[in-house]
Amino acid sequence: QKEVEQNSGPLSVPEGAIASLNCTYSDRVSQSFFWYRQYSGKSPELIMSIYSNGDKEDGRFTAQLNKASQYVSLLIRDSQPSDSATYLCAVLSGGTSYGKLTFGQGTILTVHP
Amino acid sequence: DGGITQSPKYLFRKEGQNVTLSCEQNLNHDAMYWYRQDPGQGLRLIYYSQIVNDFQKGDIAEGYSVSREKKESFPLTVTSAQKNPTAFYLCASSIGLRPQETQYFGPGTRLLVL
């Protein structure tokens, strides 16, 4: 079982729709969770971080964390063509591997006009 | 402007050659990291360093070496022992290694084998 798993997609949504990106992780002691956006040929840029169970909203983005189910998601409301990118879920362990950020393989999102 | 710089943007390696990728940050961050990304894959940790003169192996350290002589600099050497070096290499930094500290990435170096 991979430590961090994402559906690789591609996920295609129409402009204005809600895009839902999902991620599961295997390390129960994980404490911090991050969503990065990566445009083709570019480096990842941080979109959201979440540390506690529940929802965290920032503009059109909402991150959801459920530690009991070991599940983290990212919702993008009113999707725009500029949101088309690969979205990487990353999990930081709070155990002996302090500082080790483990990434999923990424979900490709395409927003079509 | 504060940030992370990586050079060169593209690097070509010949068989049997060692090459060094540069990473510099002026964010005053203590921790620095090197990741490798293969097409369609997530990032995998090569090495990380939490303070000057100290570094730890990540998941795929074989065939790579690093140094941390200055806080701002964390160069990565891809040695001839790395048999499949073609990849996108990303350097990152964070304030420290505590769980809630975000890692920020440089623009990356794409390494190709001739």
Residues linked to residue A86 through DSSP beta bridges, in sequence order: A38, A108
The identity of residue A52, as a single letter, is S
Residues linked to residue B1 through DSSP beta bridges, in sequence order: none
Q: pLDDT digits over A16-49, tens only?
A: 999 999 999 998 888 889 999 999 999 999 999 9
Q: Chain A to chain B, count of Cβ pairs less than 8 Å apart?
A: 60
Got the DSSP string for chain B? ---EEEE-SEEEE-TT--EEEEEEE-S--SEEEEEEE-TT--EEEEEEEEETTEEEE-TT-TTEEE--SBTTB--EEE-TT-S---EEEEEEEES-SSTTPPPEE---EEEEE-
CA dist., res. B88 & res. B111, Å (int)? 6
Res B8: pLDDT? 95
Work out the average pLDDT over B83-98: 89
Q: pLDDT digits over B15-34, tens only?
A: 889 999 999 999 999 999 99
Instruction: Show the tokens assigned to B109.
Output: 């170096």
* Interchain CB distance below 8 Å, A32 and B50: no
Is residue B91 very low, low, confident or very high in pLDDT (cuts 50, 70, 90)? very high
A42: which chain B residues are within 8 Å (Cβ-Cβ)? 107-108
Higher pLDDT, residue A98 or A83: A83
* Interchain CB distance below 8 Å, A104 and B90: no
Q: How close is the nearest chain A Cα to the Cα of B90, in Å? A: 7
CA dist., res. B72 & res. B55, Å (int)? 14
* Interchain CB distance below 8 Å, B108 and A49: no
Q: How close is the nearest chain A Cα to the Cα of B55, in Å? A: 12
* Interchain CB distance below 8 Å, B48 and A100: yes
Lowest mean pLDDT across B1-5, B24-28, B43-47, B109-113: B1-5
CB-nearest to B31 from A44, A99, A103 is A99
Res A92: pLDDT? 85
